[in-house]
Amino acid sequence: MPKSIKEKLAILADAAKYDASCASSGSNTKREGDGVGSTEGMGICHSYTPDGRCVSLLKILLTNYCIYNCKYCINRISSDIPRARFTPEEIVRLTVEFYKRNYIEGLFLSSGIVRNSDYTMEQMIKVAKDLRLKHGFRGYIHLKTIPGANDALVSEAGLYADRLSVNIELPTEHDLQELAPEKKRPVLELNMASIEDRINENRHERKTSKAKPSVYAPAGQSTQMIVGATPTPDKDVLETASTLYKRYRLRRVYYSAYSPIQDSHGSLPSQSPPLIREHRLYQADWLLRFYGFQATELTTVARPSLRLDLDPKTAWAAENREFFPVDVNRASREALLRVPGLGVRSVQKILQLRRHQSVRWADLRKMRCDTHRARPFVICGDRHPGRLLEKEHLESYLLPPGEQLSLTF
């Protein structure tokens, strides 16, 4: 019996929740009734635009049928799950209707692979093309490109999508061979290179052509890595991310903690990694992108995994005490960015203020710096860390005190 649109939406929105390229997936609150604000978990997710706005997206798959048998994926061909498939016309209609009702501001579309990569990519492009050209849709569109799709199709997708993404899937080529042998790392990177080349060509055309063409994939490209499905340490994860940022100028690398699935392969772990690990990877990623850190500074051969009890910047500072204390009135911007508790905006405020006066401890507080974390690492006009920077004092100061479990109820 053919499935209704609502049944398809329930299946394909739930199947899309494993993609980490949106900040949150469908909400499913337990309050009774259908009053204002009630939700059904039908694939509305939230993401952030380059200018910082939070937007709601319809996050769904074209289909969860797939000819691949990736061991970590719930939608693999051998998985015994309910299957569904939208037509391009159905997704277009859903997107337009949801947009008119002010439920969403855009579409995030991915898919399993049916028939072959090119056919699936063509179907996804048709959705974006019809939305733009037939319905005049000006909302945000994020398309997940299909592994191994023809370069011409990947290039065409960027004419209609704001952002494209090619999932690298796993941190190393060995991991990919073990868990997703149908996917080839060189092919995935070839798709990334194709997108980057087309973005550069478009940028040049817009500078030199009198009839300026539309911006190609204006929000750039991103990728996703699953962490915790293999023993690969954070060192390899961050080195892969750093390489991809430099080579293809990605806007974001998303990290998704492996989630055990039904009837999973025996080689996969039975439990998810601690979510704090995913959080630490995002913090380390931020340091790579905005704070001037290198992946080789955050992890080493001797310590290949990020500390879970300290954020990566504080952990680096604790390991490199000889770099501190930093004088906020004299240090360079690069040195200030390495101080725990000082963010990019705080550093900019410090640089502006010290042109006119000596920066004091009270000034750092007014700037809303995390003065507790910064205290052992900075010198300012009226404060010195004293003996806090000594190793035996520093660890006890930085680590939160252990909690005594209560025996009362």
From CA 331, how far away is CA 339, in angstroms rounded?
11
Residue 14: pLDDT over 90: no
pLDDT greater at residue 30 or residue 2: 2
With vertex at residue 112, the alpha carbon angle to CA 49 and CA 273, rounded to the nearest 5 degrees, is 70
- The least confident of 52-56, 179-183, 200-204, 350-354 is 52-56
pLDDT tens for 270-299 read: 889 999 999 999 999 999 999 999 999 999
Which residues fall within 8 angstroms of residue 382, CB to CB, at 6 or more apart?
360, 361
From CA 111, how far away is CA 152, in angstroms rounded?
19
DSSP string, 140-165: EEEEEPPTT--HHHHHHHHHH-SEEE
Whether 338 contacts 313, CB under 8 Å: yes
Residue 228: pLDDT over 50: yes
Residue 378: pLDDT over 50: yes
pLDDT tens for 238-259 read: 999 999 999 999 999 999 999 8
Stated pTM of the model: 0.88
Residue 29: pLDDT over 50: no
pLDDT tens for 74-97 read: 999 998 899 999 999 999 999 999
Average pLDDT over residues 161-177: 95
Domains of the chain: 1-25+40-165 (3.40.50), 312-398 (no CATH)
